[in-house]
Amino acid sequence: MESNMDKIGEAQAALRSGKFVLIFDSDSREAETDMMIASEHVTYESIRTLRREAGGLICTTVPAEVSRKLDLPFMAELFAESYDKHPVLRGLAPNDLPYDTKSAFSLTINHRRTFTGIPDRDRALTISEFAKLGKKVLDMDAMTAQKEFGAAFRAPGHVFLLNSQPGVLNDRRGHTELATALMKMDDMFPSATICEMMGDDGKAMRKEKAQEYAERYGLPYLEGAEIIEAWKESVYSK
């Protein structure tokens, strides 16, 4: 029988080679399966696959060390800072999420070389260039990083950025952190592009259907608990 670490290793190998991995968070959380791919390997073909085969919202995760350098706020924080000017935002506060205590949503961006930003090629350009910048900014001072970010991207746009929590799975156990942890444990640049898998019944795709999809196309399928177990045993959780 395949061990948990074998499954984790197979998923990490798939990500390194530019393939998709499916992650189910948990029955007690969103109970959703996300397709994920390493952002640095995103092409227009992978965006098309996410759009057609998954069908949810295509988002790109941002590791905390990059969001700090780029000064990427959480969207909910931006709204909170605007309560006095736009009181309607106070009533829209996401304080009743049935599955979490906070939202990972940050800014939405387009690369400046895109036109509308929404076609598959546009989104692929935005995501792949953001991953390239993310790698570079780790070795920059914050002012230079933010200047390069502004020179290359505009906001709002059509790629949704998701800020991972600093402690990753020690702080939160959403798909943002599950994807980040999986990549971080294999020393990949931990930005993933993820999308929820939708069913034909108007609901999220059932776990069994997502597992069948993974088997049909030879894709690794992981439960959130399997990633959490590996994370707890890794040096990153200490």
Q: Which residue out of 65, 158, 170, 229 is catalytically annotated?
A: 158
Q: Which residue out of 25, 129, 177, 196 is catalytically annotated?
A: 196
Strands 153-163 and 192-196: unpaired
In this model, does residue 162 exceed pLDDT 80?
A: yes
Per-residue b/e over 195-226, b at no fewer than 16 CB within 10 Å?
bbbbeeeeebbebeebbebbeeeebbbbbbeb
Which tens digit of pLDDT belongs to each residue from 27-71?
999 999 999 999 999 999 999 999 999 999 999 999 999 999 999
Pick the CATH number of 4-237 from 2.60.120.10, 4.10.490.10, 3.90.870.10, 3.40.50.1100: 3.90.870.10
pLDDT of residue 1: 60
Domain ranges of the chain: 4-237
pLDDT of residue 45: 98
Q: Which residue out of 25, 40, 41, 59 is catalytically annotated?
A: 59
Q: Give dist(CA 34, CA 170) in Å, integer.
A: 20
**Is 25 a residue of the active site?**
no
Which tens digit of pLDDT belongs to each residue from 128-155?
999 999 999 999 999 999 999 999 999 9
In this model, does residue 115 exceed pLDDT 70?
A: yes
By three-state DSSP, how is residue 152 classified? helix
Q: H/E element holding 196?
A: strand 192-196
Instruction: Judge whether 127 and 159 are in contact, CB under 8 Å.
Output: yes
